[in-house]
Amino acid sequence: MIATRTRADQAFDIFSYTLLSLLLLVVLYPLYFVVISSISNPDLVNLGKVTLYPRGVTLEGYRRIFSDATLWLGFRNSLLYTVLGTCLNVVLTLTAGYALSRNDLAGRNVFMFLIVFTMFFGGGLIPTYLLIKGLGLVNTIWAMILPNAVSAYNIIITRTFFQGSVPGELLEAAKMDGSSNTRFFLQIVLPISLPIVAVMVLFSAVGHWNSYFQALIYLKDDELQPLQIILRKILISGEAAENMVDGLVNQAEIVKMAETMKYGVIIVSSLPVLVLYPFLQKYFLKGVMIGSLKG
């Protein structure tokens, strides 16, 4: 029997699609504007004449961005911090989440209480800095990696996923075949847990790639600064932009080029995440929903 749709249903669909389309436009247009502004004449951008399509197309801003050694150094540092940090995050989060999901782990409720406790109470910025300094991590790459090695929120999501997706009977069968806990985790649990692995990779990678506050506090040498710090200087103070405008003697031209490069650097800094997401998209929604609703 085919259900008939009333006028109220049709009106609701029209309203829903209209509202969702407007929300999509509100979200996408700022991103689209940054893209077209990065290749448009900065004079036209400042006059508000660039709205729907690029005008006075020029790639000079991108040419100067990619020819700047400081930007490439920051890009390399951010890539290094992201890869190392994500690998450490995923390994610790998955192993901790799996261990806490096992009913035969002695004291697992105590461990979970201690983990959740950290979500409500923290030492604060100054004690944390003194701790990092006492460990000798200030002005090293490890100051960008170790303090955020484990997230209590991610452990809870991972634990819940394992509880709802890895039946105890599977472990019992593996033990009957002589499998150890390590082998069971690596060869059976991980292959069937790709959704939550993808979610943890995406969460960790985006967090490390966008991280800049730790660099402001813990890193002093310019050689260690991530890309986000360079972007921050361009957007706020224009310090990095001045290093990219060699050959321009007119102050007005320098200001215009700096404005163009602001948009260009935003695009360049966002590309790695935009490239990563499509490969993880098919696992992402499934992993988040299972990890947050089951258990």
pLDDT tens-place string over residues 105-143: 888 889 888 888 888 877 778 888 888 889 888 888 998
Average pLDDT, the chain: 80
What CATH class does 61-293 carry?
Answer: mainly alpha
Q: What does the DSSP 8-state code read for residue 142?
A: G
- Amino acid at the residue 272: P
Sequence-ordered list of residues with C-beta below 8 angstroms from that of 292, at least 6 positions apart, any chain: 157, 160
Confidence of residue 87 (pLDDT cuts 50, 70, 90): very high
User: Domain residues of the chain, as ranges?
Assistant: 1-58, 61-293
Whether residue 276 contacts residue 205, with contact meaning beta carbons closer than 8 Å, is answered with yes
What are the distances in angstroms from CA 217 to CA 35, 230, 238, 293? Answer: 31, 15, 20, 37
What pLDDT, on the 0 to 100 scale, is given for residue 84? 93
What pLDDT, on the 0 to 100 scale, is given for residue 286? 59
* Cα–Cα nearest to 158, from 202, 93, 228, 106: 93
pLDDT tens-place string over residues 141-196: 998 898 888 888 889 888 888 888 777 777 778 778 777 888 888 888 888 888 88
- Of 84-98, 164-178, 195-209, the least confident: 164-178
Sequence-ordered list of residues with C-beta below 8 angstroms from that of 157, at least 6 positions apart, any chain: 97, 196, 199, 288, 291, 292
pLDDT at 92 over 90: yes
Rounded CA separation 140/152 (Å): 24
145: three-class secondary structure by DSSP: coil
